[in-house]
Amino acid sequence: MENKKINDATNFINKKILVIGSGGREHAVCLAIKNSKYNSEIFALPGNAGIRNIATIVDKISINDHQAIINFCHENKIDFVFVGPEQPLVDGLVDVLTKNNIRCFGPSKSASQLEASKIFMKKIADENNVPTAKYQTFDNENQALNFVKEIAFPCVIKADGLASGKGVIIANDFDSAKQNIHEILSGKFGIAGKKIVIEEFLQGYEASYFVICDGDNFIPLGFAHDHKKVGEGETGLNTGGMGTFAPSPFISKNLEEKIIKTIIEPTLNGMKKIGSPFKGILFAGLMIENDNPKLLEFNVRFGDPETQVILPRLKSDFVDLIESSINGNLSKYKIEFFEEKKVVCVVMCSKGYPENFIKNTHLKNILSLENALANNHKINDKNLENVKILHAGTTIQDNKVLAIGGRVLNIVASDESFKIARNKVYDLIDNIDWQEGFCRKDIAKKVSQD
Ligand code: AMP
């Protein structure tokens, strides 16, 4: 009885949470905060046209202005800051806020090196026997060329630093390798390409695995599968991600155990050993062949658009989960998922993406569609319950929603069947009046057959 009273009382605690970022990932995070048992006031820096319906937009401060963020948090008595994208983590925002007694979710600058430097990631993997592709690192063009003369093609050339997802090139022959090595080492990606990694091409299928960590313990959040290429059938240029689904029907409990034992635990122990314990979300990009997982890359934050399909499956309270990581209490946190729930997300982009795309186009009926979804009204005679429109590159001007980015909307649906969730997503997309936009039509197709 006493316990029940205490639990009920927490329902009325008003938390103030600042979310940094402006993508579909941050919209999904804001929704998860809104659905938490706490009655939280959310601030979004800088947010987008969808987030503004559930959060106060903070658009007068730059993400790079650490002092202004500190002042804002103090003035508004922010309980904690959630940092979405990698750049502010790599820039040390968590360290700066923590030093100023502002609680913050995410890894320190030094732990963020797992994403900021592919060479650092490889070194940690080597030191802790984590399976990855065989590789060498170079900062000299001739030495790199001598190396590629000896190896098999395709090979993979990677800029060491952050390059907005564009720094990985798969070279099918010597000429392509030569040209890309020259371009990267000559500054195509700025200082991110001062050094490169050249590695063997791995076969298999890809999966993204997420764990939340508190420096000592971690809790698995599950797998998602991404569709990275712009064209249907995985063709064309690489993108930030054109769609996702979760959970993974391909990965058994045994395989998950193997991923934890051979990749996650050794990495987290290795980070502790070098004095950079990892807090926040560790996102492992994996290549799996014959049930043998190898690490492709680490990211040090939630994925976008993976978060959009991971968070709707979380049954436990999201704010409690995040605070347990910040407070170092994850060992006491009991996580639960909606085990049967299947989630599909399709990303809608401005035509031209991922190259030059048209900007400031009008998403004519988004506000009325959102209104219909919020009120459970049928859309074109279809019942689209459990479908959400999450915004990414959008803004609002004179009550008009405009597309200002490459990836603009995420249409997300859940159901007990992938097929039904997927049909709902595409039924909604059929009703979106946006001539200047496009999406892939084959997201989650392979898991939606009868
Ligand atoms: P990364 O940013 O390192 O994950 O690389 C981006 C994408 O390039 C991955 O999602 C894979 O599709 C591909 N890739 C990276 N490294 C390799 C590799 N060693 N073998 C095959 N494909 C790779």
Which residues are 231's β-sheet partners?
Answer: 235
The predicted pLDDT at position 115 comes to: 98
What pLDDT is attached to residue 437? 98
Is there an atom of ligand 1 within 6 Å of 201 CB? yes
Which residue's entry shows tokens 């923590």? 98
Residue nearest to atom 8 of ligand 1 (CA): 168
Closest ligand 1 atom to residue 200 Cα is 19
Q: Please report the pLDDT score of residue 10 as a whole number.
A: 53
Is 298's pLDDT higher than 50?
Answer: yes
Q: Is the pLDDT of residue 164 over 90?
A: no
**Model's pTM, two decimal places?**
0.95
Alpha-carbon gap, residue 409 to 427, rounded angstroms: 15
Beta-carbon contacts of 313 under 8 Å, excluding residues fewer than 6 positions away, are 222, 246, 247, 337, 338, 341, 343, 414
pLDDT for residue 367 is more than 60: yes
pLDDT digits 0-9 by tens, 321-342 = 999 999 999 999 999 999 999 9
Ligand 1 pocket, residue 265 CB under 6 Å: no
Of ligand 1's atoms, which has the minimum distance to the CA of residue 158? 3
What is the 3 state secondary structure string of the chain?
Answer: CHHHHHHHHHCCCCCEEEEEECCHHHHHHHHHHHCCCCCCEEEEEECCCCHHHCCEECCCCCCCCHHHHHHHHHHCCCCEEEECCHHHHHCCHHHHHHHCCCCEECCCCCCCHHHHCHHHHHHHHHHCCCCECCEEEECCHHHHHHHHHHCCCCEEEEECCCCCCCCEEEECCHHHHHHHHHHHHCCCCHHHHCCEEEEECCCCEEEEEEEEEECCCEEEEEEEEECCEEECCCEEEECCCCEEEECCCCCCHHHHHHHHHHHHHHHHHHHHHCCCCCEEEEEEEEEEECCEEEEEEEECCCCCCCHHHHHHHECCCHHHHHHHHHHCCHHHCCCCECCCCEEEEEEEEECCCCCCCCCCEECCCHHHHHHHHHCCCCECCECCCCEEEEECCEEEECCEEEECCCEEEEEEEEECCHHHHHHHHHHHHHCCCCCCEECCCCCCHHHCCC
Residue pointed to by tokens 């984590």? 130
Q: Does the structure show a pLDDT above 50 at 20?
A: yes
| pLDDT, position 35 | 96
CA of 414 to the centre of ligand 1 (A): 29
Q: What percent of the chain has pLDDT over 90?
A: 94
Indicate whether 182 pLDDT > 70.
Answer: yes
Confirm or reject: Cβ of 206 under 6 Å from ligand 1: yes
133 lines ligand 1 (CB under 6 A): yes
CB of 436 within 6 A of ligand 1: the answer is no
Per-residue pLDDT at 450: 66
Ligand 1: does its nearest atom lie under 6 Å from the Cβ of 202?
Answer: yes
**Does 307 have pLDDT greater than 60?**
yes
Q: What is the mean pLDDT of residues 402-421?
A: 97
Q: Are the C-beta atoms of residues 412 and 312 closer than 8 Å to each other?
A: yes
Which residue minimizes the CA distance to atom 6 of ligand 1?
A: 168
pLDDT of residue 268: 98
For residue 11, what pLDDT is reported? Answer: 56
**Given the CA of residue 133, which atom of ligand 1 is nearest to it?**
19
How far is the centre of ligand 1, averaged over its atoms, from the C-alpha of 84 (Å)?
22
Mean pLDDT of 186-196: 96
Per-residue pLDDT, averaged over 166-195, amounts to 95
| pLDDT tens profile 55-85 | 999 999 999 999 999 999 999 999 999 999 9
Whole-angstrom Cα Rg for the chain = 22
156 alpha carbon – ligand 1 mean position (Å): 8
Q: How confident is the model at residue 449 (pLDDT cuts 50, 70, 90)?
A: confident
Residue nearest to atom 5 of ligand 1 (CA): 168
Nearest atom within ligand 1 for CA of residue 199:
19
pLDDT digits (tens, 9 = 90+) for 378-392: 999 998 999 999 999
Ligand 1 near 156 CB (within 6 A): yes
Can you tell me the mean pLDDT for 13-30? 96
Q: 231: which residues sit within 8 A by CB, 6+ positions away?
A: 440
The pLDDT-based confidence of 4 (bands split at 50, 70, 90) is very low
Q: Is the pLDDT of residue 13 over 90?
A: no
Extract the tokens encoding 420. Answer: 């039904």
Indicate if ligand 1 lies below 6 Å from the C-beta of 46. Answer: no
Q: Choose one of 180, 296, 301, 306 to mutate for the ligand 1 pocket test, by most ligand atoms within 8 angstroms of C-beta.
A: 296
Residue nearest to atom 14 of ligand 1 (CA): 296
- Quick: pLDDT tens for 225-275: 999 999 999 999 889 999 999 999 999 999 999 999 999 999 999 999 999
